Chain A
């Protein structure tokens, strides 16, 4: 597309679809503001851009000049960033249209998008269920067909898990592939911006645009943007590892059937499939839930009522101001994680928890290196242990909620690229399969995903 008239029509149609999907509570931008901004952006977009006229919804923890950035939190209500995140600036430079900000768990802390100060997001196929999280708003909008692509962020599976629940493609790149500049920090050693698409190609081409070096983020590798692979005829020459720890005896039967079918397809496509072991996998969730809260407790110290967002006035001194602002501005899950993070970093507990978790993280990363060093190119696993769960089902038990991330947090801990794509359904609910690649070899992972997507009946019952 290079016709400005078409871009304007595209913008209007996208705004209509997003407004129509209001029941999902997925978009936090008011309809009038969204329509005006999309029209303005369509008029300003450069027709030569590779994403010219493509509407992309952006998770509300990624800074945008055009819309507020609240991170799904009351403590940043009304906050407008004075700059665009690098990923957003790159999208705009490629001609994409930022199609509003999407609902998310507060500061990315959650697996269901129920922990948002702006109400829970709703699963696009079943209103009694969650779309996953924390990037559930972007996932729901893409799955509902309101936008072809969206940005999310991952600290522990927050793109792949909702992609799996909503039946779309979600890619988390290697740590350092995409700039974190303008991504509101949660766990800095884990955070990455990821992408959603209705197809592997849509997700991959958005990833290609936002990837690459950024002098504003020292953790972003000085590499060229990702080059998209072609769709392969076969997977001859690929060695795909199936880690046995990701197929426990209590794995949901439909998820297992869908994975078995996808593995058969991998073999039919010519890939060599072999069982492998990642022995420290059972410790990944506990490790993650020490490291991420520890980093969050530090990163979120900046929200104190002095510099950002609303403050809760009436305090007699500055310390009371901090405590009142933070105590009322943060929701229960964020408060819980800040407290756990502060606890594991406090004197007397640091060695038993935080230092030990860092060592465990090294062992988990070493597990992956051992497998890849033995000639395995990619790993295939289920993305989640079950399809989308019911709203409210896991709210009372934080650990049960955390365990829904059991197959996704390892890639964040090891900094590896990983993606989820639809591999089947059960009673209308999508099931996702996960590919985990080697660092900075997203092209191989996407190549295999292209082949799988073409051959696996992703919308048929498993």
Chain B
């Protein structure tokens, strides 16, 4: 399964990743190689398929819905690159609007 430069750029947009032109040819070649390699799982007849397997407990245990003391040593203002008045600061949403998203 080969992918094209255009497909890699489309996937990169979906993944919110900048890919520079210089690395695109190598990245495309490596992705094609990886996708060809993993596609071999299609060799096993579908009739052999089993119900999806998920490890861990059979049922999710829910925590009690109660307010507890703040469990962290410090708040998000210490972690975030820009934070003010309880909010993470980011640039405007311009491109979302332009692309109609």
Contact residues of A with B, CB < 8 Å?
A: 65, 79-80, 82-83, 175-176, 189, 215, 218-219, 221-222, 280, 283, 286-287, 289-290, 297, 301, 304-311, 315-324, 326-328, 330, 332, 335-336, 338-344, 346, 352-353, 355-363, 365-366, 397-399, 402, 414-415
What residues on A are CB-neighbors of B41 within 8 Å?
Answer: 283, 286-287, 290, 356-357, 360
Structural contact, A304 and B16, CB atoms closer than 8 A: yes
Structural contact, B34 and A82, CB atoms closer than 8 A: no
Structural contact, B30 and A358, CB atoms closer than 8 A: no
What residues on A are CB-neighbors of B23 within 8 Å?
Answer: 332
1/0 contact trace for B55-67 toward A, CB 8 Å?
A: 1110011110000
Residue of B nearest to A289 (CB): B38
Residue of B nearest to A304 (CB): B16
Q: A215-B63, A358-B53 are in contact. Are A79 and B79 (CB under 8 A)?
A: yes
What residues on A are CB-neighbors of B27 within 8 Å?
Answer: 335-336, 339
Residue of B nearest to A338 (CB): B15
Q: A308-B79, A336-B34, A342-B11 are in contact. Are A319 and B3 (CB under 8 A)?
A: no
How many B residues touch the partner, as a band?
Answer: 35 or more
A377–B38 CA distance with the chains assembled, in angstroms: 31
1/0 contact trace for B19-41 toward A, CB 8 Å?
A: 11001000100110111011111
Cβ of B89 to closest chain A Cβ, rounded Å: 8
A340–B28 CA distance with the chains assembled, in angstroms: 11
Residue of A nearest to B63 (CB): A215
Which 3 pairs across A and B sit closest by C-beta, in order of nearness?
A: A327-B18, A415-B55, A362-B50
Structural contact, A283 and B95, CB atoms closer than 8 A: no
What residues on A are CB-neighbors of B82 within 8 Å?
Answer: 311
Structural contact, B42 and A398, CB atoms closer than 8 A: no
- Tell me whether B100 is interfacial, beta carbon within 8 Å: no
A344–B63 CA distance with the chains assembled, in angstroms: 33
Q: A318-B96, A343-B3 are in contact. Are A356 and B42 (CB under 8 A)?
A: yes
Structural contact, A83 and B61, CB atoms closer than 8 A: no
Q: A176-B55, A338-B15 are in contact. Are A319 and B38 (CB under 8 A)?
A: no
Structural contact, B44 and A283, CB atoms closer than 8 A: yes
Structural contact, B73 and A82, CB atoms closer than 8 A: yes
A353–B11 CA distance with the chains assembled, in angstroms: 15
Q: Which of A80, A321, A343 contacts B91 (CB 8 A)?
A: A321
State the majority secondary structure of interface residues on B.
Answer: loop
Given contacts A304-B16, A311-B82, 17 further A-B contacts (CB under 8 A): A80-B79, A218-B60, A218-B62, A306-B88, A308-B79, A320-B91, A321-B90, A323-B18, A326-B17, A326-B18, A328-B18, A336-B30, A336-B31, A342-B15, A343-B3, A366-B53, A398-B34
Structural contact, A339 and B79, CB atoms closer than 8 A: no
Cβ of B53 to closest chain A Cβ, rounded Å: 4
Residue of B nearest to A322 (CB): B16
Structural contact, A365 and B34, CB atoms closer than 8 A: no
Q: Which of A218, A326, A366 contacts B61 (CB 8 A)?
A: A218
Q: Which of A222, A297, A309 contacts B81 (CB 8 A)?
A: A309
Residue with the greatest number of chain A CB neighbours at <10 A, chosen from B7, B33, B50, B55: B55
Structural contact, A415 and B56, CB atoms closer than 8 A: yes
What residues on A are CB-neighbors of B31 within 8 Å?
Answer: 336, 339-340, 343
Structural contact, B52 and A286, CB atoms closer than 8 A: no
A441–B72 CA distance with the chains assembled, in angstroms: 34
Q: A358-B52, A363-B50 are in contact. Are A286 and B37 (CB under 8 A)?
A: yes
Cβ of A110 to closest chain B Cβ, rounded Å: 14
A318–B89 CA distance with the chains assembled, in angstroms: 10
What residues on B are CB-neighbors of A304 within 8 Å?
Answer: 16
Q: Which of B18, B35, B91 contacts A318 (CB 8 A)?
A: B91
User: What are 25 of the A-B contact pairs (CB < 8 Å)?
Assistant: A83-B73, A175-B55, A176-B57, A222-B57, A286-B41, A290-B41, A309-B81, A316-B95, A317-B95, A318-B91, A326-B18, A327-B19, A336-B27, A338-B15, A343-B3, A352-B39, A353-B38, A358-B52, A362-B53, A365-B55, A366-B50, A398-B30, A398-B33, A399-B37, A415-B55
